[in-house]
Structure formats: structure tokens, C-alpha cells
């Protein structure tokens, strides 16, 4: 079974990767790891405290299949951790690298979004990083996958989950049914 490492920071947006980790672990038996800067506990925007499995800096690329960057308030501040070495190492090792909401800001700063189609929480928002991929930005209501990079806005946690799980070869009728239930809710609104 695959292993997903999710990178959490202080003030992380708890809803953005909850579907992914819960469905991956609960329904598909995927190993899910919580990684944080220096291995310190972090508190989400909603007050949930995560005690990490490991320090992000100590992640073994041979032991994971995906690195997921959760969004949160820190990514727009000077205190945002530099994840370039970590994300680039995962990408070089052929791992799936995914970011949601302001986690895409972190990925833009690494250069990984310079040459792939991607989305996030707004073209102008990502452009504040000075990255080189603005021409490849896609206005999309769901996630955008290009090779081993997946991105999404904060409003697409279910589609983000589906894209990540499908990239890990876990897409099946159950996953499509679950995603369809959520899509039906939005059509009804």
C-alpha cells in the first residue's frame, strides 16, 4: 500500500486534506504520515492539534509515495518554511507532489509549478511568489493534475482527494461514487 506524507504547519487549514487522509487510510489502507517543521506539534485554524509522526526534514523519500502540502495561514507570511529542498527531492525521486490552497504558494516558490499546468487560489495570488509558471495557471473549480504534480484551490478538497488517490492507482468505483455524492450536494445548492 502507498504512503502519503502530509506537511502541516501552524495555522494549517484542517478541511483541505481531511478527506484525503481519512479516505486514504480508512477505506484504502494507505499509510498516512503527518510531517511538520522540526517535528513540532502544530495547531490548525480550527484548533485541532496535530502531533506529527516525524519532522518534515527527516522524511525518507524511499518510504513515501506522495508528499502533500496542506494550505494554511503561514504560507502568506514571512514565517513560511522553505520547503524547496523537500519538495524538489520528492519530485526528483519520482514521488507525487501535491498542494492545496496556499500550499500551492509553497510549491510555486520551489519552482515545481514553473513548467506544469496548475491551479490554486487565484492567478494573481500565486504571482506574488514571483514564480515562472503564470502562463500555465488554470482557472479550474477542481484539482489540476499534470504529471506527478497535483494542485487545487481550498474549495476543492474532494476533487483534490480523488486526483491524489487516482494518481496512486487507487481510483475505483467506490471512490467515484463517493466523489459523486459530494458533487450531487453542490448541484442541489
Q: How far is CA 28 from CA 17, 20, 25, 111, 172, in A?
A: 16, 11, 6, 32, 10
Query: Average pLDDT, stretch 10-20?
Result: 96
Report how far residue 38's alpha carbon sits from residue 17's, in angstroms, rounded to the nearest whole number.
Answer: 20
Band of residue 189 on the pLDDT scale cut at 50, 70, 90: low
Burial code (b: 16+ CB inside 10 Å, e: under 16) for 12-50 equals: bbbbbbbbbbebbeeeeebebbbbbbeeeebebeeeeeb
Model-level pTM?
0.96
122 or 183: which leads in pLDDT: 122
Average pLDDT, the chain: 95
> What digits encode the pLDDT tens for the residues 123-157?
999 999 999 999 999 999 999 999 999 999 999 99
Band of residue 159 on the pLDDT scale cut at 50, 70, 90: very high
Q: What's the confidence (pLDDT) of residue 182?
A: 80
Residue 114: CB partners within 8 Å, gap ≥ 6? 131, 132, 133, 136
* Residues spanned by the domain of 53: 3-188
Report how far residue 75's alpha carbon sits from residue 45's, in angstroms, rounded to the nearest whole number.
Answer: 13
List the alpha helices (DSSP H) in 128-170: 157-167
- The domain tally of the chain equals 1
Report how far residue 16's alpha carbon sits from residue 175's, in angstroms, rounded to the nearest whole number.
Answer: 17
> Residue 109's domain is classified under what CATH number?
3.40.50.880
Amino acid at each position: 500500500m502507498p504512503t502519503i506524507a502530509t506537511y502541516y504547519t501552524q495555522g494549517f487549514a484542517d478541511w483541505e486534506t481531511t478527506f484525503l487522509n481519512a479516505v486514504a487510510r480508512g477505506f484504502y489502507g494507505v499509510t498516512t504520515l503527518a510531517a511538520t517543521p522540526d517535528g513540532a506539534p502544530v495547531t490548525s485554524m480550527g484548533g485541532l492539534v496535530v502531533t506529527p509522526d516525524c519532522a518534515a526534514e527527516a522524511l525518507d523519500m524511499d518510504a513515501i509515495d506522495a508528499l502533500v502540502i496542506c494550505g494554511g495561514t503561514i504560507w502568506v507570511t514571512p514565517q513560511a518554511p522553505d520547503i524547496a529542498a523537500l519538495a524538489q527531492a520528492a519530485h526528483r525521486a519520482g514521488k507525487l507532489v501535491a498542494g492545496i490552497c496556499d500550499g500551492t504558494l509553497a510549491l510555486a516558490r520551489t519552482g515545481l509549478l514553473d513548467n506544469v499546468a496548475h491551479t490554486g487560489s487565484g492567478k494573481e495570488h500565486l504571482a506574488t511568489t514571483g514564480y515562472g509558471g503564470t502562463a500555465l495557471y488554470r482557472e479550474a473549480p477542481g484539482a489540476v493534475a499534470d504529471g506527478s504534480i497535483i494542485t487545487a484551490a481550498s474549495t476543492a478538497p474532494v476533487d483534490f482527494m480523488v486526483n491524489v488517490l487516482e494518481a496512486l492507482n487507487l481510483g475505483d468505483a467506490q471512490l467515484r461514487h463517493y466523489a459523486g455524492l459530494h458533487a450531487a450536494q453542490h448541484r442541489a445548492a
